Amino acid sequence: MQTEKITAIVLAGGSGKRMGGTVKKQYMLLAGYPVLYYSLAAFQKSSVDTIILVTNEKEYCQKEIVQAYHFDKVTKIVSGGAERYNSVYAGLLAAEGSSYVLIHDGARPFVSQEMIDHSIETVKKYRACAVGMPVKDTIKIVDKSGFTVTTPKRETVWQVQTPQTFSYPLILAAYEKVLAKQVEGITDDTMVAEYQSDVRVKLIEGSYDNMKITTPEDITVAEALLKTSQNI
């Protein structure tokens, strides 16, 4: 019987323009470790079989992060592309032979073992899932002039996080379809999966702490969370 192979694709190719400074957000120190360290450490400890790191700083990541912290599940480091979806596709090509893939932003340091385990359990049932949380605030849909159009019911609106987890053949085919049609406005992997007409993405609860490091203020918040977090 063939064993199912589960691969984590960790994206660390962002430019970090909103962060400012000379150090990209995924390499900034957070409580003494690079931001990227935390998500790699979580997948290293998890039940995933292998990790593919997508970055444009391959030599630096190999020496200063993968080797330095003994992340032996990182079997491939591949170059990213111009946009996020290009980087994901590069990671997917490197994940050939996988049964399922978890796609995660390396700038989200608070991914937990529970999120990873729940994602793997859910994807085997639904083929596509993502972690997220219900929004806390009232959301407004506005027109191009900034005037409100409608107010969706808050209980139907979620903020989507990563990891986003898929059947490997499904998400690879969906990405190839999107790239062939040069679809614009793709901001996450669930949007790509939804181009497969028979696929509905199951949302499961992540954590409000599962933040993405984007601005300098986020580092301060993340350091505070680390002091009380039981996940890292």
Residue 91 has pLDDT above 50, yes or no: yes
When the pLDDT of each residue in the chain is averaged and rounded to a whole number, the result is 91
Q: Confidence class of residue 183 from pLDDT cuts 50, 70 and 90? A: confident
| Residue 180 CB partners (closer than 8 Å, separation 6+) | none
Residue 232 has pLDDT above 50, yes or no: no
Residue range 27-52: mean pLDDT, rounded: 95
Residue 231 has pLDDT above 90, yes or no: no
CATH 3.90.550.10 fits 6-128+162-228, yes or no: yes
Please state, in angstroms and rounded to a whole number, the distance separating the CA atoms of residues 115 and 104: 11
| Structure-model confidence comparison of residues 228 and 193, the more confident one | 193
**pLDDT at residue number 228:** 79
Percent of the chain with pLDDT over 90: 76
Residue 18 has pLDDT above 50, yes or no: no
Q: Is the pTM of the predicted complex or chain greater than 0.85?
A: yes
3-class secondary structure, 223: helix
Q: Quick one: which of 215, 213, 214 has its CA closest to 225? A: 213
**pLDDT at residue number 20:** 47
**pLDDT at residue number 196:** 75
Please state, in angstroms and rounded to a whole number, the distance separating the CA atoms of residues 13 and 79: 8
| Structure-model confidence comparison of residues 196 and 112, the more confident one | 112
122-132 tens-digit pLDDT: 999 999 999 99
How is 136-184 classified by DSSP, letter by letter? SS---EE-TTS-EEE---GGG-EEEEEEEEEEHHHHHHHHHHHHHHT--
Q: Confidence class of residue 22 from pLDDT cuts 50, 70 and 90? A: low
Q: What's the Rg (C-alpha) of the chain? A: 18
**pLDDT at residue number 186:** 87
Q: Give the containing element (helix H, strand E) for 123.
A: helix 113-126
42-85 tens-digit pLDDT: 999 999 999 999 999 999 999 999 999 999 999 999 999 888 99
Residue range 72-101: mean pLDDT, rounded: 95
